[in-house]
């Protein structure tokens, strides 16, 4: 049985993951971490990582970027692999993740969905054909009104997938309101919408002369991310130090 710590257990995603994990036969949440102690859970909950004395095989994190440094320090100290699902990390924090992965197994993904990770593969292939033919590329993402970071980590990961396929020849544009000029052919426009309870929508638009090709992924429930996180936890438990992604989980 894989023993798991849920970091951010009383948040929306933490609660969904708790429900998904409870239905699994070979993984068990043995402790939760959350400063919000108002919810009841079938496992002990600690207000901080420092106060948690429960042994575990893996940590799953769905919190906020400000908690990442402490989480990585704890993971290294206890030698517990960590599935890092939090988005909106700064460049310095991304470097910390890479440094931590030299000492402990870290799986970092902008999106835990199987569908989104397949989409990243598909748009790489599309970019080679369409971007090479002069199509403009735009990414539109929509999320609920409580999401803090914009653009989403998934939107950036989609842009990075295209850029990787095209030898990093594109730059990203997030706001056109201050610049009155024609669109640069070597840019990827990324736009964000925040409103209501939208779980997550991502459109990757290849716009050419007289034709448009759009790749779209729509999340109807947080459960798709929860299932991915639990699958990632099962995969990462017992792994050697290194930086892993959902691609490793899918191909395993």
Residues classed as catalytic: 143, 147
In this structure, are residues 137 and 165 in contact, taking their beta carbons and an 8 Å threshold? no
User: CB of 49 within 8 A of CB of 73?
Assistant: no
The HSE-up count of residue 40 (CA atoms within 13 Å, CB side) is: 0
| Residues 195 and 144 sit within 8 Å (Cβ to Cβ) | yes
Work out the angle at residue 24's Cα, subtended by the Cα atoms of residues 18 and 25, and round it to the nearest 5 degrees: 135
- Per-residue burial over 2-41, b = 16 or more CB atoms within 10 Å of its CB, e = otherwise: bbbbbbbbbbebbbbbbebbeebeebbbbbbbbeeeeeeb
Query: How long is the chain?
Result: 252
SS3 213: strand
Our measurement of the distance from residue 46's CA atom to the centroid of its chain's CA atoms, rounded to an integer in Å, reads 24
Full strand arrangement of the beta sheet holding 82-84: 45-46, 27-33, 2-7, 58-61, 82-84, 105-108, 242-244
CA distances to 47, 126, 147 from 10, in Å: 11, 40, 16
């Amino acid at each position: 049985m894989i023993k798991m710590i849920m970091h951010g257990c009383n948040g929306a995603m933490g609660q969904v993951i708790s429900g998904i994990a409870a239905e699994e036969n070979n993984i068990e949440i043995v402790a939760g971490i959350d400063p919000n102690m108002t919810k009841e859970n079938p496992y002990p909950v600690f207000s901080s990582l420092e106060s948690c004395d429960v042994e575990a095989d893996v940590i799953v994190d769905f919190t906020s970027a400000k908690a990442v440094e402490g989480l990585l320090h704890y993971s290294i100290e206890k030698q517990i692999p960590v599935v890092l699902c939090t988005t909106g990390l700064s460049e310095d924090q991304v470097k910390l993740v890479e440094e931590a992965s030299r000492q402990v197994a870290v799986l970092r993904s902008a999106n835990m969905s199987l569908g989104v990770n397949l989409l990243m593969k598909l748009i790489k292939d599309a970019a080679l054909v369409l971007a090479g033919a002069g199509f403009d590329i735009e990414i539109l993402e929509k999320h609920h009104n409580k999401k803090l970071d914009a653009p989403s980590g998934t939107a950036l990961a989609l842009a990075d997938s295209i850029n990787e396929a095209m030898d990093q020849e594109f730059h990203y544009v997030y706001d056109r309101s201050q610049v009155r000029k024609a669109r640069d052919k070597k840019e990827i426009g990324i736009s964000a919408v925040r409103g209501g309870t939208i779980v997550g929508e991502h459109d990757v638009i290849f716009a050419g002369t007289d034709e448009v090709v759009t790749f779209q992924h729509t999340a109807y429930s947080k459960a798709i991310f929860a299932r991915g996180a639990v699958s990632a936890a099962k995969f990462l438990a017992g792994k050697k130090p290194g930086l892993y992604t959902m691609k490793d989980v899918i191909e395993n």
